Amino acid sequence: MDIKTLEQFIDSQGWSFYGIADFSSVQTKLQEHRSVFDEWVKKGFHAGMDYLPRMAEDRYSPDRKLPEVKSAIVLGATYSDGGPNSGPNCGPNCGFGRVARYARGRDYHKVLKKKLITFSDWLKSQDPKAETYVSVDSGPLADRVLAEAAGLGFFGKNSCLIHPSKGSFFFIASLLTTLKFEPTAKKPMPNCGDCTKCKNACPTGALKGGGVIDANRCISYLTIENKGAIPVELRSKIGNRLFGCDACQEVCPFNVGRAHHQEVIIPELKSVGGVGESLDLAEILSIRTDDEFLKRFAGTPIMRAKRFGLLRNACVVAGNSGNKSLIPALKKLIESESDGILREHAYWAISQLSNSNG
C-alpha cells in the first residue's frame, strides 16, 4: 500500500500524529520494559490494580493476540484544551472540583476505538488478507511502549510518554497488523536531563525517580481506579482535584508554552462536548442513585469512578475547600447513604470545614 494513501486516511480521521514500527523493534522495546514493570509490581507500586500483572503476558507479548503481526501503527490524539486556572474561579471557599484534562471530553476509549475499527476495516478493504488488533488504553497492550518504538516520544520522569514538540497531553491508540509497512523515520529524542519539576510538583510524593510512580500515593489512582477509602494522610494534599491530576504534566517544560502544538482536532475530545473543566460539588453530593449518576455522566470518563468514587472524591474536595455552605449537603449524604466509607469521608469533610477559617 502506498504510504501517502495511508497518511491521507490517518489525516482524514483527525489524528494529531502517528508513527509506524516493525514488530521486531516493538519486541525489543517490550523486553526492555518488562523487567521494569515486574520490579514495579514486586514493590507493590501498582496498588489495587491487580489486573495489570494478570495481563502482563499479553501486554508484553502482543503476538499472542495477533500471531502474524508485522507492523504497529501508533496514533496520537491531543486532548489538552483549558489550563490549570481555567474554569470557575476556585479561590478560597470554592464550590467546584477540578477534572483532569483527559477526562473533560467524551470517553476517549469509545471515541478512538470507533476510529480504530473504521481504520481496521479500511485496511482490510485495501488488502482482504490483512488482519488487525486494535487497542486504546483498555486492552492488554503496552501502548506507551509501542508509541516509543514508533518514535512518538520518550518516557519522562513522570512516566508519561513525551512528544518532543507536542508534550504529553495526548491519547495513544494502537493498531497491530499483519501487513508490512515501512517504519517511519525515527528522530533522536531528548530527555529530561536534570529536571525534577514534575517530582517537586507532585502533591503526594508519588514520583519515586527514574520514571517510577507509586500508585498508592498518586492522586489519579486514588480518585479514579481506587475502589476503597482515600488514606486520611493524603486527603488534604488532593486539594480541589475531584477526578484525576495533571500536576506533574502541567509543570513539564515540554508542555509549558506548547499550547499552539496541542490543538484538539477530534471534536468529541474537547471540553465543550463533555463534563468540562470542573464540577459543582453540591450537585455531585446530591446524586443519590446509580441511575442519576448514569444520566449525568454516561459516555464520559467520569463513569470509571462510578457513583461511589465520585461522591467519595467530592467529600474530600469539599473538606479541602473551606466552603462551609457545603456542610448541609454533606449531612444529607450521611443521612441517605448506608455505605460506611462514604459516610466516613463525609464526616471527615464536615470536621475539616468546621475547623476551618472559611
Active site residues: 137
Cα angle 263, 261, 279; round to 5: 45
Q: What single letter denotes the amino acid at residue 158?
A: N
Buried b (16+ CB within 10 A) or exposed e, 251-266: bbebbeebeebbebeb
d(CA 261, CA 275) in angstroms, rounded, equals 23
User: How many Å from the N-terminal Cα to the C-terminal Cα in the chain?
Assistant: 65
d(CA 11, CA 96) in angstroms, rounded, equals 37
Please, are residues 288 and 335 in contact by the beta-carbon 8 Å criterion? no
Under DSSP, the state recorded for 183 is P
d(CA 317, CA 240) in angstroms, rounded, equals 5
d(CA 88, CA 282) in angstroms, rounded, equals 14
Closest alpha carbon to 31 in 192, 133, 114, 142? 142
Please, are residues 306 and 262 in contact by the beta-carbon 8 Å criterion? no
* Other CB atoms within 10 Å distance of the CB of residue 340: 9
Please, are residues 95 and 323 in contact by the beta-carbon 8 Å criterion? yes
Closest alpha carbon to 230 in 303, 313, 307, 302? 313
